[in-house]
Amino acid sequence: MKILLFGKNGQVGWELQRALEPLGEVIAIDRRSAEYCGDLADLDGLRATVRAIKPDVIVNAAAYTAVDKAESEQGAAQLINADAVQVLAEEAAASGAWLVHYSTDYVFDGTGDAPWTESSKVSPVNVYGASKLAGEQAITASGCKHLIFRTSWVYGVRGNNFAKTMLRLAKDRDTLNVIADQIGAPTGAELLADVVAHAIIKAQADSSVSGIYHLAPAGEVSWHGYAQFVIDFVKAQGENLTVNSLLPIPTTAYPTPAARPLNSRMDTQKLRDTFSLHLPDWQRGVTRMLMEVLHK
């Protein structure tokens, strides 16, 4: 199997380089790659890359992910998250390749407290969410065989993430204010990559699995609860933190350019049933990431 991976150095792309390796020949590129164009802003270049490599599977881990910046850069978000994805979908449809892509719970408006299913009504509340939804719609409209994984609150050991930010602040502050009314599940880049590798194997044998899936670990937590877990765990490891209290605040007390959905709960039943997978509690991946960050 020949796999073409875009966005190889993002949080998820980095883990995919590892997880896809046992499946076949992996050609992993990013926007700085010299031999093939991996820049999603270059639509002609993207087409040329897919046509030159002729992959069996295209995996797209690249995206415009700057949620707040997207509010003032709508054109760039649309180009990377929708127009480029449409090109990949068209090329996949024409060649018979699978397209594997990541999307987000931000396609939903965050109302209520029920977990979102794949058939829940989409209604993004910010530019980033709208651009990701447009990407999903381009894929389904193209008729290509596809696996779209909507996920939430992604963290990786590589790069910045919420837990690392909390740890940094907890080393020189006494009190931290953390949003307590947005609920979701922190999802590890490792899990996202490993599940995709499993799904690709299944898809090779059964094209009826083509579709959209929700992918997040089990359980739910607020950003405040997530931060508390991180601080408690790191203190228990003997690390010296100055923070004494985490104050829960509402989203309204922390205005950002982009609105955030309050309810990011994802129903993952379809994924677990289709691919016979078990999804661990979110604490397991976060603990593992913290151990790596602390070099324990």
Ligand X SMILES: NC(=O)c1ccc[n+]([C@@H]2O[C@H](COP(=O)([O-])OP(=O)(O)OC[C@H]3O[C@@H](n4cnc5c(N)ncnc54)[C@H](OP(=O)(O)O)[C@@H]3O)[C@@H](O)[C@H]2O)c1
- Residue 218, beta-bridge partner list: 281
Residue span binding ligand X (CB under 6 A) among the ranges 59-67, 139-147, 212-220, 227-235: 59-67
64 binds ligand X (CB under 6 A): yes
> Whole-angstrom Cα distance, residue 118 to residue 114?
13
- With tokens 């802003």, the residue in question is 41
Give the integer Cα–Cα distance in Å for 71 and 73. 6
Find the shortest distance in angstroms from Cβ 129 to ligand X: 10
Q: Which is nearer to ligand X, 26 or 80 (by Cβ)? A: 80
Q: How many CA atoms lie within 13 A of 116 on its CB side?
A: 31
Which positions from 22 through 51 interact with ligand X, judged by CB under 6 A? 30-31, 38-41
Write the CA distances from 224 to 154, 180, 279, integer angstroms: 16, 5, 23
Record the tokens describing residue 107, joined without a space.
């396609």
Q: Is 213 in the site for ligand X (CB under 6 A)?
A: no
Which residues does 2 contact at the CB level (< 8 Å), separation at least 6? 24, 25, 27, 53, 54, 55, 56, 57
* Size of interface with ligand X, in residues (CB under 6 A): 26
Minimum CB–partner distance for residue 240 and ligand X (Å): 29
188 binds ligand X (CB under 6 A): no
Contact between 8 and 61 (Cβ < 8 Å)? yes
Active site residue 128: yes
Task: Name the minimum Å distance from CB 98 to ligand X.
Answer: 16
Q: Active site residue: 102, 128, 155, 226, which one?
A: 128
Region 80-119 residues binding ligand X, contact defined as CB under 6 A:
80, 102, 104
48: Cβ contacts below 8 Å, ≥ 6 apart: 36, 37
Site for ligand X in 269-288 (CB under 6 A): none
Residue number, 64 or 229, with CB nearest to ligand X: 64
Residue 52 Cβ, how far from ligand X at the closest point, in Å?
17
Element (DSSP H or E) covering residue 19: helix 11-20
Q: Which residues are catalytic?
A: 128
* Binding-site ranges for ligand X (CB under 6 A): 7, 9-13, 30-31, 38-41, 61-65, 80, 102, 104, 132, 151-154, 159
